[in-house]
Amino acid sequence: MTRPQLEVRDLEVRARNAAGEEVPIVERVSFALQKGEVLALIGESGSGKTTIALSLLGYARPGCRISGGTIRLGETDVLGLSRRALRDFRGRRVSYVAQSASAAFNPSRTVMAQVTEMALLHGTADRAGAERRAIELFRALALPDPERIGHRYPHQVSGGQLQRLMAAMALIAEPELVVLDEPTTALDVTTQIEVLRAFKDVVKGSGTTAVYVSHDLAVVAQMADRILVLRNGAMQEIGPTARILSAPQSPYTQSLLAAAAPVPRGADQPPAAAPVIAVQGLTAGYGRIGADGMPQIPVLRDIGFEIRRGSSLGVIGESGSGKSTLARVVAGLLPAAQGRVLLDGEALPPALAQRTPGQLRRIQLVFQSADTALNPRRSVGAILGRPITFFHGAKGAERDRRVKRLLDLVQLPAAVAERQPGELSGGQKQRVNLARALAAEPDLILCDEVTSALDTVVGAAILDLMDELRRELGLATMFISHDLHTVRAVCDEVMVLYAGACVEVGSRRAIHEAPWHPYTQLLVSSVPELRQGWLEERGSVRGPEVIGTDRPACAFFPRCSVALPGTCDRVAPPRRTLSKGADILCHREEADLLRAAIPAGP
């Protein structure tokens, strides 16, 4: 075996905590990488994966310090480099792709200036040469208009394109090692796959050695030759990707794998009960409402659904699809422009101020990030006590008793009532968040991305709890998520939103089966599967990357792989019922869609 390209031995990084003590956040991490190999660092938040990635460039964030071990790249001892030598080393021999390209690009300089900066700085090319190389990379990364995209400013380029431009920036000086830090986490799943494909082609094509940091096993399975599993700054196990996925040895890896492939909870068919909530012809948005009843900036168009007692509707869509707005409209925070919301068959006034306390009590919201969902200055007892007093008038000992019962319901110890939200873990906060909604004794709970900010394992436990509560208390839930896995795991019915329109709605079983609405199909086939080779098997179903100036009659028209020009962009698509039992919004016949459907796994 040849001498490895990169060798990390006994790496230790320390950070100063609030009390001013230095504590290790990475301990005794060792690994080696052969030339052309891709190693994945995988772990949840706080596992030290980004810290390790940054130390490969000889860098520690403010407040942190690389306190031990050695890092060798080629013949260079990275940690022994002088400040000056480190400047020549970074960018030239190791480069970095950050998680959020929109934050990592300087907003006041053109993309080209930033992409070529490293080559000019390190003298690997002159300006003309660097720009030529940049355009080659843009082309290799499948960026639209490679000749001219460099002249734009970062805000004029989409998120997925920026992420690819950052890869071009990292590769411009032809470094020996590229560090990719969660480069697709901030992207929508349908964008992620294009970016992954581009990364993989370029990295494999140029034989670059790479370290790929991620929390997502399915993504890593597509990219990495080997996987290193981290937890709390320590190594759990390291091995070839296939072995880690098929025969994980560490119990922690096993739990990660189990959480990554969630088992469906609940029934495949919604229970037969009266609908708690029914929404009909709902249109909402921001700005003045015009003569035609459309708001100036429409966000939702003609949405309709029902949720029965004890059942759960999943709402899925990418960022900007209007899914969070839907929850706000149902809760009354944003009055609808048109349409009706019926609670137990009785029409609700659109605006919050006109609803009765009883109506408000019966619909409760649970939000995404528990960090902003709980008032950091009030104790858990006060947070839970307020709705109890507000809706049920209970005070004193009765209130405390109810708070205790709620904590018990969400499986938290009674002592938590004395604590402030800041003293709780992410999972505990999300349980308190849920308990606050339950305190009102609602009929319907609107959950907006409740597990998105949590680590997979913790999130899975929350989903279990919610499923249990739903059945125990007979709650109806609307479950908003961008993650198809999550929605499939907990919902009886699934509604797919695209640009504010409901493009497909059906039972959970129906969402598993072809044919789909073309957008659902794109979504379903874009979710990475937990096996190697999936990315290579999956063909591109994406249409050309064009952004039209006018909104076409079917909003998905510009991205649709089976669009009918002249029809889809001019005539509003009809609603049709497919034989699998789902309604879709499309011009195409069922048979056409079936033909277009590519087998997308189980």
343 touches 277 (CB < 8 A): yes
Q: Which is nearer to other proteins, 360 or 457 (CB)?
A: 360
Residues in contact with other proteins, counted by CB under 8 A, come to a total of 59
Tell me the closest approach of the beta carbon of residue 378 to other proteins, in angstroms.
Answer: 7
Query: If you count DSSP H runs as helices and E runs as strands, how many of each does the chain have, helices first?
Result: 22, 22
Q: Does the protein bind other proteins through residue 436 (CB under 8 A)?
A: yes
d(CA 216, CA 331): 33
Q: Which is nearer to other proteins, 64 or 189 (CB)?
A: 64
Residue from 98, 162, 187, 193 touching other proteins (CB under 8 A): that is: 98
Q: Does the protein bind other proteins through residue 250 (CB under 8 A)?
A: no
Q: Which stretch binds other proteins (CB under 8 A): 222-230, 364-372, 484-492, 585-593?
A: 364-372
* Cα 98 versus chain centre, distance: 16
Residue from 357, 413, 548, 601 touching other proteins (CB under 8 A): that is: 357
Tell me the closest approach of the beta carbon of residue 374 to other proteins, in angstroms.
Answer: 6
Binding track over 189-228 against other proteins, x by CB under 8 A: ----------------------------------------
Tell me the closest approach of the beta carbon of residue 62 to other proteins, in angstroms.
Answer: 9
Residues shown for the chain:
602
Residue from 15, 195, 303, 365 touching other proteins (CB under 8 A): that is: 365
Phi, psi dihedral angles at 290 (to 5 degrees) = -80, 180
Q: Does the protein bind other proteins through residue 381 (CB under 8 A)?
A: no
Residue from 81, 104, 257, 267 touching other proteins (CB under 8 A): that is: 104
Q: Does the protein bind other proteins through residue 425 (CB under 8 A)?
A: no
Q: Does the protein bind other proteins through residue 349 (CB under 8 A)?
A: no
Binding track over 163-192 against other proteins, x by CB under 8 A: ------x-----------------------
Pick from 119, 233, 104, 87: which is nearest to 181 by CA? Answer: 104
Q: Which is nearer to other proteins, 294 or 390 (CB)?
A: 390
CA distances to 166, 299, 435, 444 from 465, in Å:
40, 32, 11, 16
Pick from 327, 329, 317, 325: which is nearest to 497 by CA? Answer: 317
Q: What does the buried/exposed string (b/e) look like for 68-92 if buried means 16 or more CB atoms within 10 Å of the residue's CB? A: bbebbbeebebbebeeeeeeebbbb
d(CA 506, CA 582): 4
d(CA 340, CA 323): 17
Residue from 34, 100, 250, 567 touching other proteins (CB under 8 A): that is: 100
Q: Are strands 363-366 and 275-289 parallel, antiparallel or unpaired?
A: unpaired
Residue from 74, 158, 304, 390 touching other proteins (CB under 8 A): that is: 390
Neighbouring CB atoms inside 10 A of 279's CB total 23
Maximum Cα–Cα distance across the chain? 77
Q: Give me the DSSP letters along 374-431.
A: S-TTS-HHHHHHHHHHHHH---HHHHHHHHHHHHHHTT--GGGGGS-GGGS-HHHHHH
Tell me the closest approach of the beta carbon of residue 111 to other proteins, in angstroms.
Answer: 11
432 touches 425 (CB < 8 A): no
Task: Give all strands (DSSP E) within 174-311, no chain letters.
Answer: 177-181, 209-214, 226-231, 234-240, 275-289, 295-308
In this structure, what DSSP letter does residue 126 have? -
256 touches 282 (CB < 8 A): no
List binders of other proteins among 520-539 (CB under 8 A): none
Q: Does the protein bind other proteins through residue 90 (CB under 8 A)?
A: yes
CA distances to 159, 301, 506 from 306, in Å:
34, 16, 11
Question: What contacts 75, CB < 8 A, 6 or more positions away?
Answer: none
Q: Which is nearer to other proteins, 363 or 410 (CB)?
A: 363
Binding track over 403-422 against other proteins, x by CB under 8 A: -------------------x
Residue from 16, 109, 127, 570 touching other proteins (CB under 8 A): that is: 109
Q: Does the protein bind other proteins through residue 387 (CB under 8 A)?
A: yes
Q: What does the buried/exposed string (b/e) look like for 376-407 if buried means 16 or more CB atoms within 10 Å of the residue's CB? A: eeebbbebbbebbbebeebeeeebbebbbebb
Q: Does the protein bind other proteins through residue 294 (CB under 8 A)?
A: no
Q: Which stretch binds other proteins (CB under 8 A): 132-140, 328-336, 505-513, 543-551?
A: 328-336
Q: Which is nearer to other proteins, 18 or 297 (CB)?
A: 18
Q: Which is nearer to other proteins, 25 or 169 (CB)?
A: 169
356 touches 349 (CB < 8 A): no
Q: Which stretch binds other proteins (CB under 8 A): 182-190, 358-366, 492-500, 565-573?
A: 358-366
Residue from 45, 106, 246, 425 touching other proteins (CB under 8 A): that is: 106
Tell me the closest approach of the beta carbon of residue 373 to other proteins, in angstroms.
Answer: 4
List binders of other proteins among 25-54 (CB under 8 A): 54
Q: Does the protein bind other proteins through residue 59 (CB under 8 A)?
A: yes
Tell me the closest approach of the beta carbon of residue 436 to other proteins, in angstroms.
Answer: 7
Residue from 6, 15, 57, 480 touching other proteins (CB under 8 A): that is: 57
Q: What helix, strand, coil percent values describe the chain, rounded to 5?
A: 40, 25, 40
Show the tokens assigned to 582: 């789902």
Residue from 135, 260, 343, 374 touching other proteins (CB under 8 A): that is: 374
Q: Which stretch binds other proteins (CB under 8 A): 303-311, 339-347, 383-391, 494-502?
A: 383-391
259 touches 456 (CB < 8 A): yes
Q: Which stretch binds other proteins (CB under 8 A): 150-158, 203-211, 265-273, 539-547?
A: 150-158
Which residues contact other proteins (rule: CB under 8 A)? 18, 54, 57, 59, 61, 86-92, 95-96, 98, 100, 103-109, 117-118, 121-122, 153, 155-156, 169, 331-333, 352, 355, 357, 360, 363-365, 367-369, 372-378, 383, 386-387, 390-391, 422, 436, 440
